[in-house]
Chains A and B, each alone.
Chain A
Amino acid sequence: MLRLRNVEAGYGRLKVLHKVSIHVDPGEIVTIIGANGAGKTTLLKTIAGLLKPRSGEILFKKQPIAGCPAERIVFSGCALVPEGRQVFSTMTVRENLLLGAYVRYKRRQKSLVDRELERIYETFPRLKEREGQLAGTLSGGEQQMLAIARALMSGPELIMMDEPSMGLAPLVVKEIFKIISQLRDEGKTVLLVEQNAKAALSVADRGYVLETGRIVLQGPSEDLLENRDVQRAYLGRDLDSEIRL
């Protein structure tokens, strides 16, 4: 569904991504884990079209999308839930969702919007309760759900999420990850970027480890969870002290 080949990108003179190649197959949850500053957000921004890659190839559904503006890429069925939620804080929850469905308005599928809205409210009953409230007044968890719901309103085949668990309470994180695996069950493809490696690997089918702009490791989630380097670096297991015992 999505394939990146030797993608390089950065800001100004700073190169962040070095020859990154990844692929995501339909129906998968793929996660990219890595520390702060590894280039995870840059990678998603490049795929979403907010950032132009310097070189390399990005194919989405076999079509090259590298360098396309963000607004075009959404129309092709690839949606991004941006880092830090980025809801329209001065607008109501309902308005946020309707704007998410802009792609459908443009395609003159207005009747689909109401149906989709109902489906979304079923998945996120909290958002229905707060329908008329300004998005800026929601709690962090609710805003994250709104951001995910807004991206879903465009009816994407691939949904990319940038750190959906950031700054949220453990219980809320659990709920968010439940929703993510629910999305796969509905047939959506998810590309998940996370610092919370443990949670991400537990829902994902496959994973990539990104370190200073390079993919250093990849494989099925179970293998990565077992990998000692991953355990030490991202899962917080202190192998040195275990050996001493």
Chain B
Amino acid sequence: MSVELFFQYIVAGITYGIIYAIVAIGFNIIYNTTGIINFAQGEFVMLGSMIAISLTPYMPLLLAIILAVIITMLIGALIEILFIRWLDSPSVLRMIIITIGLSILIREVALAIWGENVRALPYFTGNEVSSISFGGVHISPQVLWVIGVCTVMVLILQAFFKFTMVGRQMRACAANREAARLCGINAKNMVTLSFMLSAGIGAVAGCVVSPITYSQYNMGTGLAIKGFTVAILGGLGNSMAAVVAGLLLGTIESFSIWIMPTAYKDAISISILLLILFLRPGGLFGSKEEMTLKEF
């Protein structure tokens, strides 16, 4: 393998990896405040990109994306308020079944609205064939957009959770829900907020990646599986580990094309998911101790 090709694979790996990481962080945010896995996370990504695509004919790209993200966030909030909020201490299994049901529902609604057509947002800068070259490595400008936007988003999220009062409130609910309520924090609102936040970052990821991967009503399922693999790989609830795990999975997938037919690419993440669930259910960076404290 030439050096250029090697770097080409790396860049492709990072591009997909960071998208997986964003989906995984979406899983983590909701997991941290509620203790459940929201299997409709991939659908947020799909909704974000599909709504943005539908809006682009009527307004500038940036505005369409912002509006799509806001709409997806509202849908996220609505889902939580309609289906999760009023449940009185539901079991984990019940909540998971609900989110799986929701993902199917959203997919079917999307199919009814947008049909089976494959669509895509236009490239943010340049077009399909434009590329920037770094010493023989050719990179599409959109790839830089994906990496840039996602990196900034991860950093903003970190700052949000660390330095803002609302972020601290969400972490407090994750750490100890009852104690958070005793501080006067409305835990239920924090759960709604966590759904909005996950929906929002999912939608952003869906928009930036749409020009490269294209969007379709069922794109969420694959992304949810990859994102879930990454979340488990990094250790559920740990967002920084999810970034590392995402880049790892992305790179592994990208290099797999070199030795295996492309069709097997998706099988890799499933195999990794199974392996990690069998061997290290706490994730690469999780500790055994932490695992014993978790509900599942």
In the assembled complex, the Cα of A50 lies from the Cα of B180 at a distance in Å of: 11
Q: How large is the interface on A (under 10, 10 to 19, 20 to 34, 35 or more residues)?
A: 20 to 34
Interchain CB contact under 8 A, B176 and A88: yes
Query: Which residues of B have CB within 8 Å of A87?
Result: 176, 179
Give the nearest-CB partner of B32 in chain A: A90
Give B89 Cβ to nearest chain A Cβ, in Å: 11
* B168 in complex: contacting residue of A50, A69, A74, A99, CB < 8 Å: A99
Interchain CB contact under 8 A, B165 and A105: yes
The answer to whether A71 has its CB under 8 Å from any CB of chain B is yes
Query: Which residues of B have CB within 8 Å of A90?
Result: 171, 174-175
Query: Which residues of A have CB within 8 Å of B165?
Result: 98, 102, 105
The answer to whether A124 has its CB under 8 Å from any CB of chain B is no
Query: Which residues of B have CB within 8 Å of A80?
Result: 182
The answer to whether A234 has its CB under 8 Å from any CB of chain B is no
The answer to whether B113 has its CB under 8 Å from any CB of chain A is no
In the assembled complex, the Cα of A40 lies from the Cα of B168 at a distance in Å of: 31
Q: Which secondary structure characterizes the binding site on chain A?
A: helix
Interchain CB contact under 8 A, B168 and A91: yes
Give the nearest-CB partner of A95 in chain B: B168
Bits for B147-186, please: 1 = Cβ < 8 Å to A, else 0. 0000000000000000001001101101110111111111
Interchain CB contact under 8 A, A88 and B175: yes
Query: Which residues of B have CB within 8 Å of A105?
Result: 165
Bits for A68-106, please: 1 = Cβ < 8 Å to B, else 0. 011100110001101000111111000100111011011
Give the nearest-CB partner of A81 in chain B: B182
Q: How many interface contacts (CB-CB < 8 Å) are there between A and B? A: 67
Interchain CB contact under 8 A, A91 and B171: yes
The answer to whether A154 has its CB under 8 Å from any CB of chain B is yes
Interchain CB contact under 8 A, A86 and B184: no
Give B176 Cβ to nearest chain A Cβ, in Å: 5
In the assembled complex, the Cα of A79 lies from the Cα of B184 at a distance in Å of: 9
In the complex, chain A residues 107-166 whose Cβ is within 8 Å of any chain B Cβ: 150-151, 154
The answer to whether A24 has its CB under 8 Å from any CB of chain B is no
In the assembled complex, the Cα of A215 lies from the Cα of B293 at a distance in Å of: 37
Give A49 Cβ to nearest chain B Cβ, in Å: 8
> How many B residues touch A, CB cutoff 8 Å?
18
Interchain CB contact under 8 A, B181 and A82: no
Q: A86-B176, A98-B168, A99-B169 are in contact. Are A150 and B181 (CB under 8 A)?
A: no
Q: A70-B181, A71-B181 are in contact. Are A91 and B175 (CB under 8 A)?
A: yes
In the assembled complex, the Cα of A106 lies from the Cα of B184 at a distance in Å of: 9
In the assembled complex, the Cα of A218 lies from the Cα of B120 at a distance in Å of: 75
* A99 in complex: contacting residue of B174, B178, B183, B186, CB < 8 Å: B183
Interchain CB contact under 8 A, B175 and A82: no
The answer to whether A48 has its CB under 8 Å from any CB of chain B is yes
Q: A91-B168, A91-B171, A91-B175 are in contact. Are A99 and B185 (CB under 8 A)?
A: yes
Q: A82-B179, A86-B176, A86-B179 are in contact. Are A102 and B184 (CB under 8 A)?
A: yes
* B183 in complex: contacting residue of A50, A89, A154, CB < 8 Å: A154
Give B190 Cβ to nearest chain A Cβ, in Å: 11
Query: Which residues of A have CB within 8 Å of B180?
Result: 88, 99
In the complex, chain A residues 34-87 whose Cβ is within 8 Å of any chain B Cβ: 48, 50, 69-71, 74-75, 79-80, 82, 86-87
In the assembled complex, the Cα of A141 lies from the Cα of B186 at a distance in Å of: 28
Q: A95-B168, A102-B165, A105-B165 are in contact. Are A89 and B182 (CB under 8 A)?
A: no
Query: Which residues of A have CB within 8 Å of B186?
Result: 71
Interchain CB contact under 8 A, A86 and B178: yes
Give B183 Cβ to nearest chain A Cβ, in Å: 5
Give the nearest-CB partner of B181 in chain A: A70
Give B175 Cβ to nearest chain A Cβ, in Å: 4
Interchain CB contact under 8 A, B168 and A82: no
Interchain CB contact under 8 A, B178 and A71: no
In the assembled complex, the Cα of A80 lies from the Cα of B184 at a distance in Å of: 11
Give the nearest-CB partner of A98 in chain B: B168
In the assembled complex, the Cα of A87 lies from the Cα of B180 at a distance in Å of: 9
Apart from A50-B181, A79-B182, A82-B179, what are 9 other A-B pairs with CB-CB below 8 Å? A71-B185, A86-B176, A86-B182, A89-B176, A90-B171, A90-B174, A102-B165, A103-B183, A105-B165
Could you list 12 examples of A-B contacts with CB < 8 Å?
Answer: A70-B181, A71-B184, A71-B186, A71-B187, A88-B172, A88-B175, A89-B175, A91-B171, A95-B168, A95-B171, A105-B165, A150-B183
